[in-house]
Copies of this chain bind each other. A is one copy, B any other.
């Protein structure tokens, strides 16, 4: 079956491009002596995580406990880092169950969460590895000084059921001076207390080709590289041909010659802008702009006739690939123009 026969809107995944992206970045990390730990939030599909592991990744990154549970549902994945502060009894029990199925580690940036983790794991067979999350400039989670990082590392080592697993930060690599200073200071401080810092986990897609800017990093977490998207194209991190995820849509209205409407709205493309103008890149029509979205419509405008006609199918590279995966129950794996299969997005909507 040719993918042009599929009912739209549909999310297409070009498997050859996907596999190329996995291989290319694995080779890059191998060359830099950096462990690669892909974030599965981009695809949410165990089969693709296993391709990443097979290529050489050391494990996967998940953000939520339920996401990790989905990813482990079919076997074949044995190392998971959950980069999230885990709080609350049901999530802690989920974590305990996960720890029996894989080599599990989590992060924390506060004592309240550590207490919950310790209480849950104090009688477990092996201790839970906990990395200290550091805020090195992203202004999200993470301790805000190296001294706090050291204090938490000591705390982890002293608490029953827990073992200090290293430092973890989310970009910005763009603030490399600050990031390096923070991580080096924290590592030195911790090591003066006789605690080894084996892992320094860094990551992020926009700076994926600049890992040497943070030489202290031992592990790189990254999601989008497997599919790529318009935000990375615009930042010249990838090219159009590197984009594996596209949205197949049909023109359903051409009210004027300069305006057309397709059947993929924010329920597929999402309203994520990432600082860009417009809501996607239309393959073969770089001159057309997706100017506005509503839930089921996207308006395409041009200052010249669009040349589009009703029934015509278009492929759109979205601004942000990860969030598109989260909108659909299934994606379509393709090879060239051929449909290989429908694939469930197993970890879609797993927010717990």
Contacts and interface: CB of A to CB of B under 8 A. Distances in A.
Contacts of A8: 88, 352
A84 to B, nearest CB: 7
A254 interface: yes
Interface string A243-263: 000000010111110010101
Nearest to A141: B253
A296 B64 contact: yes
Interface in A63-90: 63-64, 84-85, 87-88, 90
A351 B267 contact: yes
A315 interface: no
Q: How large is the interface on A (under 10, 10 to 19, 20 to 34, 35 or more residues)?
A: 35 or more
A120 interface: no
Contacts of A87: 250, 252, 263, 310-311
Contacts of A139: 259, 292, 299
Contacts of A255: 109, 135, 140-144
Interface in A165-205: none
Nearest to A299: B140
A259 B41 CA distance: 25
A96 to B, nearest CB: 15
A294 interface: yes
Interface in A86-144: 87-88, 90-91, 109-110, 112-113, 135, 139-144
Nearest to A83: B296
A59 B163 CA distance: 60
B144 A109 contact: no
Interface stretch (A213-221, A225-233, A321-329): A321-329
Interface centre among A144, A271, A292 (most CB of B within 10 A): A271
A142 B41 CA distance: 38
B7 A88 contact: yes
B110 A294 contact: no
Contacts of A322: 295
A14 B210 CA distance: 49
A266 interface: yes
B110 A253 contact: yes
A336 interface: no
B295 A323 contact: yes
A240 interface: no
A188 B143 CA distance: 68
B252 A85 contact: yes
Contacts of A88: 7-8, 250, 311
Nearest to A260: B141
A297 interface: yes
26 contacts: A7-B90, A7-B91, A9-B352, A63-B296, A84-B252, A84-B296, A85-B252, A87-B252, A87-B263, A109-B255, A110-B310, A112-B309, A112-B311, A113-B252, A139-B259, A139-B292, A139-B299, A140-B294, A141-B261, A142-B253, A267-B351, A270-B270, A270-B271, A327-B349, A328-B351, A329-B349
Given A84-B252, A84-B296, 19 more contacts: A7-B88, A63-B295, A63-B296, A85-B252, A87-B252, A87-B263, A87-B311, A110-B253, A112-B311, A140-B299, A141-B253, A143-B255, A263-B351, A268-B351, A270-B270, A271-B271, A327-B349, A327-B351, A328-B349
